[in-house]
């Protein structure tokens, strides 16, 4: 059992209601989830089942209609936008479903950016961004701009960016989509290594092979999150 000090994410009874055609529509219902150091949690589910809505709420980018999230010991509901942004950049590595790189910065500058957004934390570790880009197979593309990269390369750059601040927790929305099998495996291996070193990973994916690295698996269907019973 996880003790409180290793609990990185604690989400209770989350619900998200959208309006569609003037009618309320629940994209997420009564979702609860805990992620502790060492966990590799995988969420599977069809397109439109509410996975991105859940992840966006967990990292503080979207307010829930119901329920609450405690991220790295901080209740998100009590934070200003600036505080939640700093927490997200400093402690959490978020890989959004769309890579979201800034077009006017090079790939390496994009990867380095979270270090500066995370607030003053001393000099940037020498060569870290280059090393992370090499780890995801993009050593030759560091000086390129995002529009010169393929969809899969952009996703790998987003993974490197998420690792920049040595996060306690990675939250990744389909980080292996558009990747060739070897690159997809290397991303899952990087995440697995992080969990063995005391970090944690929460990932949405369609790739069955990543289940081998998972310590817990959930299915998402029509906004409802259900934990799989261990075989
Ligand atoms: N801003 C929004 N307004 C209304 N409906 C939305 C909004 N964002 C997402 N949805 C709907 O909520 C459901 C869940 O979306 P999403 O969380 O993106 O699913 P997934 O990531 O599993 O594909 C979908 O039916 C989607 O159309
Ligand atoms: Mg999605």
Closest to 206 measured CA to CA, from 167, 228, 174: 174
- Which ligand has the nearest atom to the CA of 96? 2
User: The pTM is what?
Assistant: 0.93
Closest to 184 measured CA to CA, from 223, 228, 153: 153
Residue 164 lies inside a defined structural domain of this protein: yes
Instruction: Report pLDDT digits (tens) over 183-226.
Output: 999 999 999 999 999 999 999 998 888 888 999 999 999 999 99
Nearest atom in ligand 1 to 50's CA: 17
Instruction: Report pLDDT digits (tens) over 98-129.
Output: 878 999 999 999 999 988 887 767 888 889 99
Nearest-angstrom CA–CA distance, 121 and 142: 24
Residue 31 lies inside a defined structural domain of this protein: no
Residue 15 lies inside a defined structural domain of this protein: no
- Which ligand has the nearest atom to the CA of 61? 1
Domains contained in the chain, number:
1
Instruction: Report pLDDT digits (tens) over 136-164.
Output: 999 999 999 999 999 999 999 999 999 99
Closest to 8 measured CA to CA, from 200, 213, 215: 200
Residue 26 lies inside a defined structural domain of this protein: no
- Domain interval for residue 106: 37-63+79-227
**Which of 22, 47, 53 most suits a substitution to test ligand 1, by most atoms within 8 Å of the C-beta?**
53
Residue 70 lies inside a defined structural domain of this protein: no
Residue 32 lies inside a defined structural domain of this protein: no
CATH number of the domain encompassing residue 56 = 3.40.50.300
Residue 85 lies inside a defined structural domain of this protein: yes
Cα angle 130, 135, 141; round to 5 = 55
C-alpha distance across the termini of the chain, in Å: 19
Residue 59 lies inside a defined structural domain of this protein: yes
Q: Count other C-beta atoms under 10 Å from residue 170's C-beta.
A: 23
Nearest-angstrom CA–CA distance, 189 and 80: 35
């Amino acid at each position: 059992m996880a003790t409180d000090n290793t609990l990185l994410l604690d989400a209770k009874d989350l619900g998200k209601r959208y309006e569609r055609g003037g009618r309320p529509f629940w994209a997420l219902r009564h979702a609860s989830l805990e992620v502790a150091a060492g966990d590799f949690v995988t969420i599977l589910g069809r397109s439109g089942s509410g996975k991105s809505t859940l992840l966006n709420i967990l990292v503080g980018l979207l307010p829930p209609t119901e329920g609450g999230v405690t991220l790295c010991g901080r209740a998100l509901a009590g934070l200003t936008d600036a505080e939640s942004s700093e927490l997200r950049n400093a402690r959490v590595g978020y890989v959004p479903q769309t890579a979201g790189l800034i077009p006017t910065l090079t790939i390496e500058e994009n990867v380095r950016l979270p270090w500066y957004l995370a607030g003053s934390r001393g000099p940037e570790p020498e060569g870290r961004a280059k090393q992370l880009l090499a780890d995801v197979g993009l050593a030759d593309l560091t000086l390129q701009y995002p529009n010169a990269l393929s969809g899969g390369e952009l996703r790998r750059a987003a993974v490197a960016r998420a690792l920049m601040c040595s996060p306690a927790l990675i939250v990744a929305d389909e980080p292996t989509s558009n990747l060739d099998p070897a690159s997809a495996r290397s991303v899952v291996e990087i995440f697995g290594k992080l969990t063995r070193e005391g970090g944690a990973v929460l990932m949405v994916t369609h790739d069955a092979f990543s289940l081998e690295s998972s310590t817990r698996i959930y299915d998402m269907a029509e906004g409802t999150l259900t934990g799989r019973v261990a075989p």
